[in-house]
Chain A
Amino acid sequence: MTDTITDTMKKTENKILSGESEAPPVVSEWRRFRRVFFQRKLVMFGLIVFVILIFTAVFAPLLAPHDPYRGDLANSLVPPNSDFLLGTDIQGRDTLSRLIYGTRTALLVGFVTVAIAATIGNVLGLMAGFFGKAVAMIIMRIMDTVMCFPFLIFALVLAAVLGGGIQNVIIALSISLIPGFARVMNGLTLSIKENDYILAERSMGASNFRIMFKHILPNAMPTMIVLITLQLGTLILAEAALSFLGIGIQPPGAAWGSMINDGYRFLLTNPILSFAPGLAIMIVVFAFNMIGDGLRDALDPRLRGLL
């Protein structure tokens, strides 16, 4: 009898020490999250836009009324009408179709870039925070160096060096974004590793690798999810800026930034050519920012003002 009690106690103890849930209050956490997250109208707006956006990007060929790449010079610079809802550009390409295909570019660049930057940045930040000393010194000095340049200028110069195009834009933006993630992760690691459960884990002989990826990383996740969402907006803005300058997505690719640049020459006669893509950028970035804010307040309100 006593044996079984001590046995169960030991088991529970082990469970607690290894961090494998002494039944955490999963339900109430989730409920709290739902309440805070879905309660705000702006967050709901963001979510709806997000769903529409994914839908548009996936089904672009079905939704677009015309071919976004093939123009018809006879229909050049047509004002909006029933056939071309938003008119056509100088090459006679349908603006609405190009806008629809532009969601693909924006989302592709946004998601792929943030995935690359977050992965590399988090690993670097984790290593710097965990090992400290020379490792931290080398990693963080390099990150500081990159951070001396304004984000946009750094990305611009890198994209120019690499030579434009969607792939190089993704590489340039990823490299520019890595220090942001590394710095936040470094700070998080430094504070998380002071916790007693890390000490307990270490005393049980856990490897560095296990502590880093099984304990520190999951605890940093809420902050990272918020940061990733907020950075998506930044990235879509930056991609648009690079394409606007002519260093990003190259023609005939449909990108909102380059559409603004193309339309801008016909501002007086066809303002819609440059107004429409800008509005699209704004709605999308606004949606991502609202989702990010909502996630922040729901996951960790302490981050308010920091992220």
Chain B
Amino acid sequence: MAAYIIRRLISGFIILALVTLFVFFVMRLLPGDPLIIFMGRSVSSGNMSMEQLENMRAEYGLDKPIMVQYLNWIKGIFHGDLGTSIHYHEKVGRLMLERFPITLHLDIFSLFIGTFLGVMLGIAAAIRRGTWVDTLATGFANIGITIPVFWLGVVLMYTLGLKLRLLPIAGYTSPFDDFWMSTRQAIMPVICLSITSMAVIARQMRSSMLEVIKQDYVRTAWSKGLKERVIIFRHVLKNSLIPIVTLLGLAIGIVVGGSVLVETVFAIPGVGRLLVDSIFAQDYVVIQSSILIIATIIIVVNLLVDISYGWLDPRIRYS
């Protein structure tokens, strides 16, 4: 077990190193020069000379050879310095501290709700297989994996926001400033962010429940005369949840990917929105930091999932 964890940690680090290389070099392939875009007007209107541009290039360290730039970037990360945004003219670390909690707030909420409802839907569908409950739950899950989340956002905004005036149409307020407002504003984004992962988890949960229900020990439990509730929750549920844990990494990917879209629709100033804005501004310092953080989170979650797997299912042996 310990050997396995160490091996997984090492491979996690190797992958993280590959991720940094990948992120850095792909970013340098971006067409165009972010400094010229930023300084665009000033250069063409003659307010800024080429000399000043070169000075700025030196200030951002962009005049050095690419390997040196990479090493400087890595060195910076270890010192907690992610670089300076060219577009926002601000430390990326500070930018992230501002934006990250917003995305984290909505994403964690969505992940919890999506997982919980998904598991519940899957259970309902599996134990009432073939009835209207199953049809309804499966249908709902099938629509969930189909619906474009940004379009759902637009539709919700129209119905709940513009027509019925039940919820504020867009924006974000910190729960520490105004809890009630914050919650009302979060409802629509959280619905959009959680629906896909909920549907994926519900589908998996249903088939994994049906798989476990067929097992001998479940038949034994029935023949012992146990109540349905006890069998479902004590014997079936526990074992069906194991494959769901592996889906966690995937679910995080879905929710974070969705953040890019949902934050754009609802004008939420989170990391997703920052990423899209930075792509349009070709501000690669910000792009590379945001995707590096996202990838790191996913690597860590997958690592935890792999390690917890053996603890959850003792039949699995690490070799």
Contact = CB atoms under 8 A, between A and B. Distances in A.
A158 B30 CA distance: 9
A289 B26 contact: no
Given A149-B298, A160-B279, A233-B146, A267 B257 contact: no
A131 interface: no
Interface residues of B, number: 50
Given A260-B151, A274-B151, A286 B143 contact: yes
A304 to B, nearest CB: 5
A290 B256 contact: no
Given A157-B287, A237-B148, A275-B155, A145 B19 contact: yes
A134 to B, nearest CB: 14
Contact of A145 (B22, B31, B150): B22
Interface stretch (A17-25, A77-85, A191-199, A239-247): A239-247
A149 B162 contact: no
Given A153-B257, A237-B148, A274 B154 contact: yes
Contacts of B143: 282, 286
Interface in B141-158: 142-143, 145-151, 154-155, 157-158
Contact of A271 (B14, B19, B158, B275): B158
Contacts of B158: 267-268, 271, 275
A52 B291 CA distance: 40
Nearest to B150: A244
A160 B279 CA distance: 7
A286 B146 contact: yes
A290 B142 contact: yes
A281 B148 contact: yes
A241 B148 contact: yes
B204 interface: yes
Contact of B295 (A149, A246, A247, A305): A149
Given A153-B275, A161-B27, A286-B142, A305 B208 contact: yes
Interface in B256-293: 256-258, 260-261, 264-265, 275-276, 279-280, 287, 291
A65 interface: no
B154 to A, nearest CB: 5
Interface in A144-165: 144-146, 148-153, 156-158, 160-161, 163
Nearest to B27: A161
A289 B295 contact: no
A138 B224 CA distance: 52
Interface residues of A, number: 44
| Chain A binding surface, main DSSP class | helix
A97 B19 CA distance: 43
B15 interface: yes
Contact of A141 (B14, B29, B260): B14
B96 interface: no
B26 A157 contact: yes
Given A163-B31, A245-B261, A158 B26 contact: yes
Contact of A245 (B155, B243, B276, B298): B276
Contacts of A260: 148, 150-151, 154
Interface string B121-151: 0000000000000000000001101111111
Nearest to A163: B31
Given A268-B162, A274-B154, A149 B30 contact: no
Contacts of B252: 150
B299 A267 contact: no
B207 interface: yes
A264 interface: yes
B211 interface: yes
A246 B279 CA distance: 11
Interface of A: 42, 141-142, 144-146, 148-153, 156-158, 160-161, 163, 233, 237, 240-241, 244-247, 257, 260, 264, 267-268, 271, 274-275, 277-278, 281-282, 285-286, 289-290, 304-305
Given A153-B260, A245-B276, A267-B157, 18 more contacts: A141-B14, A141-B15, A141-B18, A150-B254, A151-B253, A156-B276, A157-B279, A157-B291, A158-B26, A161-B30, A233-B145, A237-B148, A241-B261, A247-B279, A260-B150, A267-B158, A277-B151, A278-B148
Interface of B: 14-15, 18-19, 22, 26-27, 29-31, 142-143, 145-151, 154-155, 157-158, 162, 203-204, 207-208, 211, 243, 252-254, 256-258, 260-261, 264-265, 275-276, 279-280, 287, 291, 294-295, 298-299
8 contacts: A152-B260, A153-B294, A241-B150, A260-B151, A267-B154, A289-B142, A289-B145, A304-B207
